[in-house]
Amino acid sequence: MAKYLLLKHYRGAPVPAGFVPMDQWTPEEISAHIQYMQDFAAKLESTGEFVSEQALAPEGTWVQYDGEGRPPVTDGPFAETKDLIAGWMVIDVDSYERALELAAELSAAPGKNGEPIHEWLELRPVLTEMPTVTE
């Protein structure tokens, strides 16, 4: 088994054809989208492929250590992940091909008018051991 992160972005990926932002969906369309994601997670729980998931709040702060006894530095001149990352799911599957299959299925979550949103998801393997440096 291998773990993969399915990362949902607010923006940064190519815009799918017919894309309608969620702020233009009806409450019923938003509920249907969320239900699809809950059903998807429940299906993966039943197959043993679900590890965890989390939607993220739009608020967030960059933090950096600024030296002993000094308050942390917050924010900075970089892209804010709160503007980019909407949430994530971790799956544990038998193969990369299965991870691709599940990512594609999640990409079909309904949006405006109940149509699949064809959302781009970032699929990243979770490291099982730290890489080593060899000479």
Alpha-carbon distance of 20 to 88, in angstroms, equals 21
Give the whole-angstrom CA distance, residue 99 versus residue 96.
5
For 29-59, what is each residue's pLDDT tens digit?
999 999 999 999 999 999 999 999 998 877 7
Q: What is the pLDDT of residue 83?
A: 54
| pTM given for the model | 0.77
pLDDT bin (cut points 50, 70, 90) of residue 67 is confident
Residue 125 backbone dihedrals phi, psi, to 5 degrees: -70, 145
Q: How many CB atoms lie within 10 A of CB 42?
A: 10
More confident residue, 68 or 93: 93
The answer to the question of residue 132 being in a domain is no
Can you give the CATH number for the domain in which 18 is found?
Answer: 3.30.70.1060
Asked, for residue 91, whether it belongs to a domain, the answer is: yes
Residue 130 lies in a domain: no
The pLDDT of residue 79 is above 80: no
- The domain of 67 spans 2-125
131, part of any domain: no
Domain presence at residue 60: yes
Residue 115 is assigned to a structural domain of this protein: yes
Share of the chain above pLDDT 70, in %: 90
Q: How many domains does the chain have?
A: 1
